[in-house]
Amino acid sequence: MQSVRNASILLSLPKSSARKSEWSPPVNPRGEGRCNLLEFSVNFDRTISLVRNASSTGGVREVERPVAQKPRSAEIRVLAGKPAPFGATTCDGGVNFAIFSRGASSATLCLFTIADLKANIVTEEIPLDPLINKTGYVWHIFLEGELKDMLYGYKFDGKFCPEEGHYFDKSRVLLDPYAKAVISRGEYGALGPDGNCWPQMAGMIPLSDNEFDWEGDLPLRYPQKDLIIYEMHIRGYTKHDSSKTDFPGTYLGAIDKLDHLKELGVNCIELMPSQEFNEMEYFNYSSLPGESKLNFWGYSTVNYFSPMMRYSSSGETNCGRDAINEIKSLVREAHKRGIEVILDVVFNHTAEGNENGPILSFRGVDNSIYYMLAPKVKIEGEFYNYSGCGNTFNCNHPIVRQFILDCLRYWVIEMHVDGFRFDLASIMTRASSQWEAANVYGNPVEGDTLTTGTPLSSPPLIDMISNDPILRGIKLIAEAWDAGGLYQVGQFPHWKTWSEWNGQYRDIVRQFIKGTDGFSGAFAECLCGSPNLYQGGGRKPWNSINFVCAHDGFTLADLVTYNNKNNLSNGEDNRDGENHNLSWNCGEEGEFASMSVRRLRRRQMRNFFMCLMVSQGVPMIYMGDEYGHTKGGNNNSYCHDNYINYFRWDKKEESSHDLFRFCRLMTKFRQECEALGLEDFPTAERLQWHGHQPGMPDWSPESRFVAFSLIDSVKIEIYIAFNTSHLPVAVTLPDRPGYRWEPLVDTSKPPPYDFLTADLHDRSTVLKQQSNFLDSNLYPMLSYSSIILTLQPDVQ
């Protein structure tokens, strides 16, 4: 095939196009709205180029090529190209383009200048010859020459029959799933031309000389047991005016505030979706005056390789290359501060929605491959909706799982990220459309009656990710459930590699801390790293990602302020969001409450945070909880680009001697204690349970008291107790001859006495006031309070 590789034609690309073409946004025949993608016609002169015949005859034949009428300013040589790797790849003085499409009958490479893209004009169309530019189901072409500042997309022709799962339409310019940067709108929250929410998108064509200076950056490779994770939203972190950064709401803005995380004691950030999505997807006017409803969280991916362009200060300048360098800078600067970076990825669905959604990329490239579709026995062509968002990514199809693996490798190799959190990861364990065991395992499986969407015990995708040599050693975290009812917490296929967001930890801790009967034993399991979930499968405590709050649900402050959600500002009549929050308002609903209620709320917030830091497993903090951020009771704030989701740096400063101080001291204490991040589950040799009396725990359904002591190689021994009763109690401490117990944490006390640091100016006075109790091996605990005491040599 070498002769075909050398066959070529010449075309000329202008620096800017003078051609104009009238167009109107075509309508998805199955859709309710308009899908604003490009539709136009261009007049071509037909030129003839001699191309060597790849047949055994070795003859020469004439092939007609359409070439646009253009002023000659830059010559591009067109060659056959190679089928791998997928995407646009620089090599040999040009760029190779390769894309999979099994069902397409023809393919056309479309080139844009940025000016033409904004004017909805294709600068150049290059039809691909299926005899020369196709290998198997892969279409490919090589362009040799200067392509700087050019963008690209594809058109595919074929069967348009949604009832059979096909959406081929040669009038639409589609985004390459492997595009490394997506150009559409340069400014966050700004509509496209003519008020268009979905203007034409195109991919960046890479350059061979676009190197980034990593300054010797290497992976930190922290043992997972040592992580303290911080769930962060890039825009929300610095968008508020109080951040006082030069580039608010961007990757560079986040860099300016990384030292806050260092001060807090965080050594890993989990970035909420930062791959290209369209924040204008849900655009309409909010019930809040002057506000618009946007897709703020970003759980609706358009392209998985491209970083979110509008999170960069540079936007689409330099065809998105500067934006790529900005997120690389964030990773590099985080690593310099000893902070790993985990990316929240959404491989369960895409922004294309159901049959009424836009045709942007995957659907037009090969819908029946990329999405999970109903078989003939149901409504053929119907989209399965295990994601709750209109479609389900066909994760275990051979093409799709290779796509996902390629994407993960790219972010690890090129972007230096340290791991991934997989949204609704249980979808990745479901059988794909057209499931056949022979296609996966090489031969039929006896008794195999799996149908589309059936959970698999050994999902091929999870197997590939778990055993991939490049991904080995990175952090893999599953949100082990989906919207289709599949709940796999403790049972996610793991290969002893995967960790899980432990939703059971969240629910049990919330109920015990607020004083619900019947949870003392389950709470003790949570403190030990949930061995009931993970020990039997050969996993460790660090496979449990412990959290009390996350982006979806109440914040820590709202958890102790509201019994009921308050989502009216979402514009859905308060129907959206979880109804069962396991929250308690401490006696009065809302922020305006009596002084006694507000004191109890502050105490409860400390109880929750202390529990998170003394539990075995990996703690995860939600952005803003360290100072008590409130969303006003909104537990589903996905659509608000405003103060609801913005980190309040002014409030953080106000809390610097209060809750924030407590949180940073607790994270520091956890890091100092060898026993609070164990490699394996604690045993009786190290841990002893207590009740009101030493060694006498109360596991009855009515018990609201849990205490334990833990031998620690640094602190000698620590004593931790939780009293979630409405009544105070006097606790008898374990007798340790030659030693005395010294209080460190008491959440019932006001700051700074809630955490007695060594440099506290009147610390000795405080200890003296408690000496009568401590000399008798007693400690008084108020209702709804938690304590930590450390063992010290008894020096007389």
- Cβ atoms of 527 and 542 within 8 Å: the answer is no
How many CB atoms are located within 10 Å of the residue 683 CB? 9
- In sequence order, the β-bridge partners of residue 45 are 67
Q: Active-site residue among 129, 479, 626, 717?
A: 479
How many CB atoms are located within 10 Å of the residue 161 CB? 12
Q: Give the C-alpha separation, 730 to 718, whole Å.
A: 18
DSSP 171: T
Q: Determine if the peptide bond prior to 752 is cis (ω within 30°).
A: yes
The closest alpha carbon to 648, from 237, 215, 42, 122, belongs to 237
The closest alpha carbon to 83, from 144, 149, 150, 128, belongs to 128
Q: ∠ CA 599-605-606 to the nearest 5 degrees?
A: 95
Q: Using the structure block, give the residue that is written with the tokens 């938690």.
A: 786
Query: Chain-centre distance of CA 201, in angstroms?
Result: 23
Does residue 277 sit in helix, strand or coil?
strand
Q: Active-site residue among 423, 500, 507, 641?
A: 423
Q: ∠ CA 601-607-611 to the nearest 5 degrees?
A: 150
DSSP character string of 516-550: -TT-HHHHHHHHTT-HHHHTTTT--GGGEEE-S--
What is the dihedral angle through the alpha carbons of 146, 151, 157, 158, rounded to the nearest 10 degrees? 120
Residue type for 719, please?
Y
DSSP character string of 693-714: STT----STT--EEEEEEEETT
Query: Chain-centre distance of CA 541, in angstroms?
Result: 22
453: its two tokens = 């969407």
Active site residue 479: yes
Q: Determine if the peptide bond prior to 85 is cis (ω within 30°).
A: yes
What ranges in 618-742 are assigned the alpha helix state H?
649-654, 659-672
Q: Give the C-alpha separation, 504 to 522, whole Å.
A: 10
The three-state DSSP-derived secondary structure of 428-472 is HHECCCCCCHHHHHCCCCCCCCCCCCCECCCCHHHHHHHHCCCCC
Active site residue 423: yes
Instruction: Please enumerate in sequence order all residues whose Cβ is within 8 A of that of 544, keeping only pairs 6 or more positions apart, or say none.
Output: 499, 500, 502, 505, 529, 530, 533, 534, 616, 617, 618
- Cβ atoms of 304 and 178 within 8 Å: the answer is no
Helical axes 398-413 vs 460-467, angle rounded to 10°: 30
Radius of gyration of the chain (CA): 29
Q: Give the C-alpha separation, 704 to 270, whole Å.
A: 33
Query: Chain-centre distance of CA 737, in angstroms?
Result: 51
Q: Give the C-alpha separation, 86 to 480, whole Å.
A: 30
DSSP character string of 237-272: HH-SGGG--SSTTSHHHHHHTHHHHHHHT--EEEE-
Q: ∠ CA 380-382-384 to the nearest 5 degrees?
A: 125
Q: Residue 220: what are its φ and ψ, rounded to 5°?
A: -75, -35
- Cβ atoms of 270 and 342 within 8 Å: the answer is yes
Residue type for 300, please?
S
Report, as residue numbers or ranges, the catalytic residues.
423, 479
